[in-house]
Structure 1
């Protein structure tokens, strides 16, 4: 039984249609802890856009074990990594919609399937966050 049971199917008829992710894409996207954290935070927030600054602050706080101020080294490191690497990868796969003008992120086409895989893994393993 493959990961396909968790993933939406491809349909290019409308821009909001789900897209297909193959197993390699799923593993690549979930391989980075910060991307997994972005998915968890978005799933907790529902359909509302989340500021990238809030994502960076939450992830930095988790990584350091305490509250993080905007502008701190830990915050800046996470923010830059999100901006340059993690958010582009998730957006390219259709997992998120990233509005660079408003610096917000929200659910994309493929997030339900990817979050289902993430939750299935979390329910069977020890989580770091």
Structure 2
């Protein structure tokens, strides 16, 4: 695999800087398919409406603009984007270093 350029690393790290966005990427990666239904349950401490507003208006668009996912709002599906594999590789490297999947 080619090394990350400083610009690409900045984009990936910014997109993966929030644990909710990392969880979206991990759910898509663990699904063993390129597309998943956009169905995420809120953490217990958050209200469902607030959770979906944050995902819909902030987290998912940020992942999409970074090229990690493609978002079909009509079908409520998420598909791997052009940079998805690079993001997963980066997360796996972090995982190996910290030996923790829920980060």
Q: TM-score range by the shorter chain?
A: 0.7 to 0.9
Equivalent residue pairs, number: 100
C-alpha RMSD over aligned residues:
2.4
Structure 1 consecutive aligned stretches of length 4 or more whose deviation exceeds 4 Å: none
Matched residue SS, 1:121:
helix
Q: 2: distance between equivalents of 1:121 and 1:103?
A: 29
Larger gyration radius, structure 1 or structure 2:
1
Matched, 1:127 2:100: yes
**C-alpha distance after superposition, 1:79-122 (max 9, x if no partner):** 21110011111111211010000111111111000000001101
User: Paired residue for 2:20?
Assistant: 34
TM-superposed CA distance for 1:64, in Å, is: 3.3
Aligned 8 A contact 1:52 1:79 in 2:
no
User: Paired residue for 1:17?
Assistant: none
Q: 1: distance between equivalents of 2:32 and 2:25?
A: 11
Structure 1: gaps (5+ residues): 10-20, 66-71
